[in-house]
Amino acid sequence: MRAILQRTLEASVSVNNQTTAAIKSGLLILLGVEDGDVAEDVEWLSGKVARMRIFADEEGKMNRSVTEAGGGIIVVSQFTLHASTKKGNRPSFLRSAAPAVSEPLYERFCATLETETGTPVGRGIFGADMKVALVNDGPVTIFIDSRNRE
């Protein structure tokens, strides 16, 4: 399971010109589920994201979590995070989990993150053609992979 965390000044996701989620300061998280990911990946990744200290404290140092900073959260499913570009110029998405597997894990990640942070998690619509807008703060962008637990 892969996540790209983007610290935002504002972010939103819309489908068919209808906004499904919008936040001011907080995190926009792009989440990709890989074939073979399980509930343990959800638990580890959601905990890691909830405790990630990438927001400024009183001294301007990245020392606060999204919860401590009072930020909002949006999670958008993105199977393209598992693209393989090894052969040719057309990416392969064979490593991405099928929707029957990835959608329940995506929903579980969102629910677990809500529990971990005590913050409602905005969502896109799984499998839809979404338009994502953000003003990246910093910019701060962090990549986390549950198969490479650094």
CB 132 within 8 A of CB 21: no
Of 111, 135, 141, which Cα lies nearest the Cα of 30? 141
* Catalytic residue list: 78-80
State the pLDDT confidence band at 91, using cuts at 50, 70 and 90.
Answer: confident
The reported pTM is: 0.93
What pLDDT digit, counting tens, does each position of 45-67 carry?
A: 999 999 999 999 999 999 999 99
Domains of the chain, with CATH numbers? 2-142 (3.50.80.10)
In the predicted structure, residue 7 carries a pLDDT above the cut 90 = yes
Measured CA to CA, the distance from residue 67 to residue 121 in angstroms comes to: 12
In the predicted structure, residue 23 carries a pLDDT above the cut 90 = yes
